[in-house]
Structure 1
Amino acid sequence: MYKMKIQSVTAAIIATLICAAGPALALPTTGQKPAAATPAAVDGINWYDGDVDAAFAFAKAHNKPLFLYWGATWCPPCNQVKATIFNRQAFIERSRFFVPVHIDGDSPGAQKLGERFKVRGYPTMILFKPDGSEITRLPGEVDAERYLQTLTLGISANRPVKQTLQAALSGGKLTADEWRLLGYYSWDTDEQQLVASKDLFPTLKRLAAACPPGETANRLALSALVAAATATPGNIPEIDKAAAVVLLTKAASDTRIARENMDLLTNYPTDLVGLATAPQSPARAKLIGVWTTALQRLALDTSLSKTDRLSALAAQVSLARLDSPEAKLMPALLKEVRQRVAQADAATTDAYERQSVINTAAHALGDAGLLDESDTLLKAELKRSHAPYYFMLSLASNAKKRGDKTAAINWYEQAYQAAQGPATRLQWGAAYLSGVLELAPQDEARIEKVAHGLFQELAGTQNAFYERNRSVLERLGHKLVDWNAGGKHQAVVQRLRTQLDGVCAKLPDADAQRATCQGLLSPTRA
């Protein structure tokens, strides 16, 4: 997930956003915030940087909603949010109506806070009522105007999203704004707070059927198909394929619907087409043709951000390769990819926006088979980016696609060495170790050295086994146990287990982290 849109906001829209919440949301007066919790003003927004409890106390005392932004320095979509949402006057004005809180995933205690608020993917943005109940999770991939409209609806909402969902599913009466909040709820970052993963498709399908016909019902129906298409293998639900083709064709064919649901069309083209049609079938060819035409329009839509236009272009590449992943693309499409990437590169000067644009551009080139050109773009960005280690992982991926295992491992290593921040270093270290396990599983010495160093860092990292960190470590633990299947590397794994036991022993018995730590290299994972 995670691309945001650049969209101009007219003075009329800004006025609507400012006034929509009503008189109860009066601007704060000078001196309202307690001295112990004074926020830091960044680009006109008075962020509480990590001081969450103080921010909630202030929100409750002053009957104001609280806006929580969970992000990371390196994350391309987080940087896109900064470049296209947080810097807008409309958002800055709106921020006066709520208490804005920023949690950087690498800050002290951040991962434990992530556990508390059930946030994992970067960025996650949640709007809370003054009493701390969630109003809604905001979508990270719609365009700026839609985002601001959804934020306004959330601030004006009379009940938390959980109550709204329950009312909708039980046949209760919802306002158009409440339906819209459900339609634009960030299901991608829900973390099963509202709906269990296995129940997401049927729940969204029920909502789409219950919602009055129109834009919101269309979006809920499309979101239901996304949930079905992206379900874990073995859990993909049965769907009415003919009905799905009709819905998807309508969405792609109608310019307004396609623009309204641009994020779904550009992010899940192969998932959705693959779900609804059979390989090499006439139905698939027809749907791909209609979808490609819609993507071509979106790629030229200057009301969208550079990242989103490039995403529409990359989606065309994905569809062109759906049934023939190794086939060469048409020269016209290759030419367009090169031209669009070059234009976006030259036109993007904002450092935050470049983190997103170059990421999308490099992937578009790579997916088109232009790996050398992708490398050139990425290597040039290493000198400009504030988080170059992110792009080193992309260079590792390109080397891996070429079959150059040595280069891939070297890039993984460089990325880990350059990474900054405890949570980031953990994730990059896990990526390095996973790369070696996959590409050089016979290199016991290197695997043990990397794992040993990573576990040493764990020992000195506060809250190392919470939330996003925990999921990274659990995946890594599975890979190490699988690598040792049949006891092939028992001596190495036993030494690592002993080292990890020392780390676990220093954690308090009552701390949930201890059980997580002790289970990471358990033989029962095999």
Structure 2
Amino acid sequence: MKQTIRAAAWLAFSPLVLPVSPALAAAPEASSHVLPAGIDWRQGDVDAAFAQARASGKPLFLYWGAVWCPPCNQVKATIFNRQDFIDRTRQFIPVYLDGDSPGAQKLASRFKVRGYPTMILFRPDGTEITRLPGEVEGERYLRTLELGLAAARPVKALLASALNGDALSAGDWQLLADYSWDTDQTQIIADGQLAVTLQRLAAAVPGGESATARRLALKALVATASDDKAPAIDKDAARAGLRQVLADTKLTRDNFDVLANNATEVTTYLTGPGAPRLELIHDWNGALVRLQNDAGLSTTDRLTALYAEVELARLSDPKGAISPALQDKVRRQTAEADRRTTNGYERQSVVSMAAHVLSQSGQIAESDTLLLAELKRSHSAYYHMLSLAANARSRGDKAAAVDWYQKAWESSTGPATRLQWGVGYVSGAIDLAPSEEARIEKAATRVVAEAGKTQNAFYERSRRSLERLVGKLRTWNKDGSHRASVGRVQAELSGVCGKLPASDAQKPVCDALASSLNG
């Protein structure tokens, strides 16, 4: 499924009722092993946790995330802190796997987890039951968790039965509707089959499950709008059905995660310039305003709805302009969000989104002010530096943007994170200052050297970071003008590969990257 608005806001370069200490409320410890309080999390030896699950007959809950990741912090602030969630953890073995912990990227490859956060429920025997949606509110998340714990069959089997026309219970259909399709990683759907599968699934829901059918239909519409190879649909009928949802307060609230995150993509797909588009935007804005005013939603969710309103305004204006009234609304709502958010986990999410809304509404200076202030209190300030780099790029200040990419990398922590941020710096420098050959070579060489000292650097996210580095360097040197610099980076990478044992599964990956660097 296409990256959501919220995810795009949180990827600047490319979802506790227990009391927390005042220090934690201000800024959680900047360690890669910060654990939400009140839960008996297992860390480190994941195989031992699975052995415990088998011995106890309890399911296993796997959380995969990163300290800096805004949606991970959102989950910690709105789900893991709930007493009802904490109580339910006694029913399973909770495992906390941070992407920067030793062996994490190799485990990520094993469990097919990539995006942060990914949350998976396993049977005691290790069979995957379902992937839980991190973008929904706490009540829906808990219902999905309960359905997963009670499920007689894994979601993969439920999907096969549903597509085969077999009878399913209401709970089975709900589990399918709330499955985390965004983090599936081909566990139950092959690449390129999401849109067609969701279309078929939505059409198969029995008539008595109208709310579930609506949710699946919305998810199918989003997947279809994001895939230019998806089967064609009746756009007029889809638009009419969507407007019915937008006009219904309960349906809007029940599906706020889908509606707030995908407004512009779906609107663009279903309409061209003209009256139908303006009518749909009018209806969508009405729903978004209701969500912004819904005190039952998290602050980040309400800001996401505000972001969608801004993007729809840009879409409806031929020049992409934002009215002074909407800009003022953005200033007021982001300032209020900043003022009322005191929990350090939640701030990592709220400030990221607030800064992005300000930038998208044309208020980059105000976004900078918010981000600069947050650098002093965030547990992962290096993440916000990426947003400052993005703002500088938008202003056309290339030098400042590259400097912020560098500062973000230099202050980042954790091996996988440093590798990702280092590649982000090299990529930014190549894009914005390609003539600074010495700077680019020095940074790229350091990134490769750090990778050589990192456990499992050629697995999952870290591998993809290195693939991105090689790709950027190849593009930079496509005319051969930087052959010497790239050759020295290649020599560094070849040295890393040479130290890997022949039996190590990482060696052929490393060798292939090194050989392709000057290809």
Distance in 2 of aligned mates of 1:226 and 1:518: 39
Question: How far apart are residue 511 of structure 1 and its match?
Answer: 2.5
Contact 2:34 2:67 (C-alpha < 8 Å) held by counterparts: no
| Greater alpha carbon shift after TM alignment, 365-374 vs 508-517 | 508-517
SS in 1 for 2:42: strand
Distance change in 2, residues 1:272/1:41 (3 Å): closer
Tell me if 1:291 matches 2:287.
Answer: no
Give the corresponding residue for 2:105: 111
Contact 1:63 1:130 (C-alpha < 8 Å) held by counterparts: yes
Distance in 2 of aligned mates of 1:167 and 1:481: 47
Distance in 2 of aligned mates of 1:81 and 1:97: 19
Distance in 1 of aligned mates of 2:214 and 2:84: 27
Tell me if 1:164 matches 2:158.
Answer: yes
Question: How far apart are residue 167 of structure 1 and its match?
Answer: 0.9
Question: How far apart are residue 239 of structure 1 and its match?
Answer: 3.0
Give the corresponding residue for 1:329: 322
The root-mean-square deviation of aligned C-alpha atoms, in Å, is 2.0
Distance in 1 of aligned mates of 2:269 and 2:503: 45
Give the corresponding residue for 1:340: 333
Aligned AA (1:174)? L
| Greater alpha carbon shift after TM alignment, 190-199 vs 374-383 | 190-199
1:381-392 equivalence runs, <5 A: 381-392=374-385
Question: How far apart are residue 525 of structure 1 and its match?
Answer: 9.3
Q: Deviations over 1:378-398 (max 9, x none)?
A: 000000000000000000000
1:53-202 equivalence runs, <5 A: 53-202=47-196
Distance in 2 of aligned mates of 1:123 and 1:389: 19
Contact 1:310 1:361 (C-alpha < 8 Å) held by counterparts: yes
Distance change in 2, residues 1:451/1:41 (3 Å): closer
Aligned AA (1:455)? V
Distance change in 2, residues 1:426/1:89 (3 Å): same
Question: How far apart are residue 510 of structure 1 and its match?
Answer: 3.0
Distance change in 2, residues 1:323/1:503 (3 Å): farther
Tell me if 1:414 matches 2:412.
Answer: no
Distance in 1 of aligned mates of 2:456 and 2:438: 29
SS in 1 for 2:356: helix
Question: How far apart are residue 224 of structure 1 and its match?
Answer: 1.1
SS in 2 for 1:86: coil
Tell me if 1:260 matches 2:254.
Answer: yes
Question: How far apart are residue 523 of structure 1 and its match?
Answer: 4.0
Question: How far apart are residue 106 of structure 1 and its match?
Answer: 0.4
Distance change in 2, residues 1:322/1:520 (3 Å): farther
Contact 1:296 1:312 (C-alpha < 8 Å) held by counterparts: yes
Distance in 1 of aligned mates of 2:315 and 2:515: 39
Q: Deviations over 1:382-415 (max 9, x none)?
A: 0000000000000000000000000000000000
1:355-370 equivalence runs, <5 A: 355-370=348-363
Distance in 1 of aligned mates of 2:264 and 2:351: 22
Question: How far apart are residue 282 of structure 1 and its match?
Answer: 1.4
Aligned length: 492
SS in 1 for 2:332: helix
Distance in 2 of aligned mates of 1:323 and 1:517: 48
Distance change in 2, residues 1:317/1:181 (3 Å): same
Give the corresponding residue for 1:401: 394
Question: How far apart are residue 471 of structure 1 and its match?
Answer: 1.7
Distance in 2 of aligned mates of 1:61 and 1:374: 52
SS in 2 for 1:275: helix
Corresponding residue to 1:489 among 464, 482, 491: 482
Give the corresponding residue for 2:312: 319
Question: How far apart are residue 521 of structure 1 and its match?
Answer: 4.7
Distance change in 2, residues 1:292/1:412 (3 Å): same
TM superposition score normalised by structure 1: 0.90
Distance in 2 of aligned mates of 1:219 and 1:511: 45
Give the corresponding residue for 1:350: 343
- Structure scoring higher RCO (CA < 8 A, sep ≥ 6) equals 2
Contact 1:6 1:144 (C-alpha < 8 Å) held by counterparts: no
Distance in 1 of aligned mates of 2:380 and 2:173: 39
1:184-263 equivalence runs, <5 A: 184-213=178-207, 214-231=210-227, 235=229, 237-263=231-257
Runs of 5+ consecutive residues of structure 2 not aligned to the other structure = 18-32
Distance in 1 of aligned mates of 2:277 and 2:139: 33
Contact 1:40 1:47 (C-alpha < 8 Å) held by counterparts: no
Aligned AA (2:398)? K
SS in 1 for 2:326: helix
1:449-464 equivalence runs, <5 A: 449-464=442-457
| Greater alpha carbon shift after TM alignment, 292-301 vs 327-336 | 327-336
Question: How far apart are residue 522 of structure 1 and its match?
Answer: 4.2
Distance in 2 of aligned mates of 1:185 and 1:174: 15
| Greater alpha carbon shift after TM alignment, 213-222 vs 70-79 | 213-222
Aligned AA (1:415)? A
Give the corresponding residue for 1:36: none
SS in 2 for 1:289: helix
Aligned AA (2:176)? L
Contact 2:16 2:36 (C-alpha < 8 Å) held by counterparts: no
Q: Deviations over 1:417-462 (max 9, x none)?
A: 0000001100100110110011111221111011011011011000
Aligned AA (1:179)? W
Aligned AA (2:40)? N
Tell me if 1:434 matches 2:430.
Answer: no
Question: How far apart are residue 238 of structure 1 and its match?
Answer: 3.0
Q: Deviations over 1:220-261 (max 9, x none)?
A: 111111112223xx5455332212212221221211111111
Distance change in 2, residues 1:523/1:40 (3 Å): closer
Question: How far apart are residue 62 of structure 1 and its match?
Answer: 1.0
Contact 1:40 1:48 (C-alpha < 8 Å) held by counterparts: no
Aligned AA (2:404)? W
Distance in 1 of aligned mates of 2:392 and 2:513: 30
Distance change in 2, residues 1:322/1:521 (3 Å): farther
SS in 2 for 1:328: coil
Question: How far apart are residue 91 of structure 1 and its match?
Answer: 0.2
Give the corresponding residue for 2:20: none
SS in 2 for 1:125: strand
SS in 1 for 2:315: coil
Tell me the percent identity: 57
Distance in 2 of aligned mates of 1:44 and 1:403: 47
Question: How far apart are residue 40 of structure 1 and its match?
Answer: 11
Distance in 2 of aligned mates of 1:473 and 1:399: 25
